[in-house]
Amino acid sequence: MPTRDGGHVFLTVLAPVRRDPCRRADGSLTSPEIALREALATLPTARQSAASDVVACDSPFSRNSRNHFVRMAVIGNTAFNGRNAANALRTALRGPDPAIPLRSDALASAYLMLAIDFDAGNDPKIAQSSYLDTLWNTMQAELQDVFCHCVGFHAVKDAAGFRTWIGRCQIETSMPFNDYWASPPTGKPPGLWAKLKGLLFGVTFPTAPDSDLPTVLKALYLQRQFVPFASAAQGATEDELYRQFGAFIASANPAGATPTQAPAVLGG
């Protein structure tokens, strides 16, 4: 399946981490991998649990309205899954000698993984470029604090340079998770070429209805408001329920953009 599907872009980046020593603000020396882990550890996360909802800082990724999911992680090395399975008696008789280690893969350096699911917007052809421009313009300082520990990022000075650098580190997303189509879309059956592309590259979907982030946030807000309303309205007479529901509609404004739930926040 492709990087762009269902009205979303699934951006996956693997950026190699520098290996030369770097200096902290206090003057002490450390490795770029450790400095990168420290930068990620202090980066504010989404307030999506009761424990994190009391934190005063919001995730910098919440400053634009296209992010559905963002994750960053340091991949220090490959995992060793143990020796290949083999018959113990056959190995004892014919080898190989289990005392001799098997070859295992290893990375030349650590990598920073960045995975983002964001709205493609009205023009899929420029979706990633416009998104990366917005990301740079809304959280440039945080991006520099994190990516400065990666190879080649020292040359990034503006949004255009950031787009170019991300493009060099981007890998094709082969299995995006698209959670807004509950069932395949209906419409005109695909032609032969579309079927062939689906077999070769995976099935792609058009934009799901009401799947952009502002609409999803509005739906979450209405859900959070309606549940306590419904609980409190139990046992009300028809006239009382009519008046209470009218007040709920006026307050929640289902057809309007506001009020709504803030991005990356558990509460309102």
Average pLDDT over residues 110-128: 90
Q: What is the pTM of this model?
A: 0.79
Query: In degrees, to the nearest 5, what angle opens at C-alpha 211 toward C-alphas 208 and 213?
Result: 160
Question: Is the pLDDT reported for residue 197 higher than 80?
Answer: no
pLDDT over threshold 90, residue 204: no
Residues 6+ apart with CB under 8 A from 32: 17, 18, 19, 20, 21, 22, 149, 150
Within its chain, how far is the Cα of 256 from the centroid? 27
Would you place residue 1 in the very low, low, confident or very high pLDDT band (cuts 50, 70, 90)? very low
pLDDT band at 214 (very low <50, low <70, confident <90, very high): very high
Domain residue ranges of the chain, discontinuous segments joined by + = 4-80+89-180, 213-252
Lowest mean pLDDT among 43-47, 109-113, 184-188: 184-188
**Residue 199 scores a pLDDT above 50:** no
CA distance 13 to 58: 23
DSSP 127-175: HHHHHHHHHHHHHHHHHHHHHTTBTTGGG--SHHHHHHHHHHHEE--SS
State mean pLDDT over 163-191. 78
What is the mean predicted confidence (pLDDT) over 224-244?
94
- Give every CB contact of residue 266 below 8 A, 6+ residues apart in sequence: 47, 48, 49, 50, 52, 53
pLDDT value of residue 147? 97
Top pLDDT among 263 and 157 is at 157
Rounded Cα–Cα distance for residues 57 and 34 (Å):
23
Q: pLDDT-derived band of residue 175, with 50, 70 and 90 as boundaries?
A: confident
Residue 210, pLDDT score: 86
d(CA 173, CA 181): 18
Q: Give the whole-number percent of the chain exceeding pLDDT 90.
A: 56
Pick from 142-156, 165-179, 244-258: least confident:
165-179
Cα distances (Å, whole numbers) of residue 22 to 18, 25, 239: 9, 10, 70
Asked if residue 21 has pLDDT above 80, the reply is yes
| pLDDT of 73 strictly over 90 | yes
User: Measured between alpha carbons, how far is 50 from 264 in angstroms, rounded to an integer?
Assistant: 13
| Contact yes or no for 178/5 (Cβ under 8 A) | yes
Most confident segment among 30-44, 117-131, 189-203 = 30-44
Q: Please state, rounded to an integer, the average pLDDT across all residues of the chain.
A: 86
Average pLDDT rounded to a whole number, residues 5-13: 89
